[in-house]
Structure 1
Amino acid sequence: MRERYKFILFYLVPLIGWMGLIYYSSSQTFEEQTVEPVLLDVNLSYIHSYFGWVSFYYGDTLVSLETRSPAEFVEFFIRKGAHVVTFAFLGILSYRLFSYFLKHVTSSSLLAVIFVAMYSTFDEYRQFLNPGRSGMVEDVILNCVGGVLGITLWINITKWVEKKRKQIPTT
């Protein structure tokens, strides 16, 4: 019975809670989430000199300082960075859940990546249906990259911790 509560409290609740936060965040419009007003109060004069050369398409939109103000440009990277970090945590939490049952790194990793991809697809589809948002295939890819980075980081950290534990002499 104690093992069941441990599973629920330490594995299931964090994953479902994180999924709920993503769901809530995706339900907000761009205007509700924008950090541009805060960035307008920050001195971004250096952005042109360091990042004036940056120019690429994300979806069908050109991202550059020629098409965006410095605040909009910085916000774009903050928002996309948030995708990576958010789904890195989702990857970690889902990997932890799968590895609780499977005890096999490869199987747990693969299932976690599939889970992240499916939840990301679901999330972007929901945004596509929301009038104040847009769902993008590019965001699904970015979310999956975040998930893979999170899973990889978690596996390496846990291996490192395990290695250090084995090196500590027991008295």
Structure 2
Amino acid sequence: MKYLRMYIKYTLRYTLKPLSFVPALVMMYLIYSFSGQSGTESSSLSYDVGFHFYDLINNLFALDLSSSQIANYALNNQFYIRKAAHITEYFLLAMSVSLPLYVYKIRGFKLSFLATLFCVLYAFLDEYHQSFSYGRSPQLRDVAIDSIGIIAGVIIVRIIGFIGRKTVFRSLSEEYKEQKAA
């Protein structure tokens, strides 16, 4: 029974490990598709997100704003909504790139460096790709804003990994050391 449990554990581990890159690929595709939108489509999406956000705030806090006031807030704050979207996209990308690296035992400074480098390079490529979309232009400022999300994502993964190693997965690492010594 003990050997069957170990066999299942190792089979799952080696089957699921390569799949840990799937979320990163999905995020890369989403970012790529967003930057491929025309200026009009992108503006419309930002406006819709802003409208729904302010409508939610209006309902949660019973502010009693009219639809035209909500629309005005959404229109006037599109810049901030877009930049928040940049930070969020690249935060999720950095986390989804860092986690598989962590799974493959890349830790510490090396993890931070590789994940950050990969994500920043992707941000540059994304801005270049955006230059081919009608009504859009690449901006170095966007790469800097993306970097805020990237750094935050990498830091969060390192914190989660550290806490996990010291608490939840501690017994597994001790069990592994015992098996290796035997």
* CA displacement at 1:156 relative to structure 2: 1.5
1:99 aligns with 2:102: yes
TM-score by length of 1: 0.72
The 1-side partners of 2:136 and 2:109 are apart by: 35
Aligned to 1:6: 16
Aligned to 1:75: 78
* CA displacement at 1:132 relative to structure 2: 2.7
Aligned to 1:36: 47
* CA displacement at 1:112 relative to structure 2: 0.2
What is the aligned counterpart of 1:16 among 21, 25, 30?
Answer: 25
* CA displacement at 1:147 relative to structure 2: 0.5
Greater share of helix: 2
Q: 1:158 to 1:32 in 2, by over 3 A?
A: same
AA matched with 1:109 = S
* CA displacement at 1:16 relative to structure 2: 0.9
Contact 1:99 1:105 in 2 (8 A): no
Greater share of strand: 1
Which structure 1 residue ranges, 5 or more long, are not aligned? 46-68
* Cα offsets for 1:68-89 (capped at 9, x unmatched): x643331111110010011011
Aligned to 1:148: 151
The number of equivalent residue pairs is 144
Q: Identity rate of aligned residues, in percent? A: 25
Aligned to 1:116: 119
Rg larger for: 2
Partner SS, residue 43 of structure 1 = helix
* Cα offsets for 1:24-49 (capped at 9, x unmatched): 1111123223232663936359xxxx
* CA displacement at 1:128 relative to structure 2: 1.4
* Cα offsets for 1:115-150 (capped at 9, x unmatched): 011000000011012223121100011111110011
The 2-side partners of 1:25 and 1:5 are apart by: 31
Q: 1:70 to 1:88 in 2, by over 3 A?
A: same
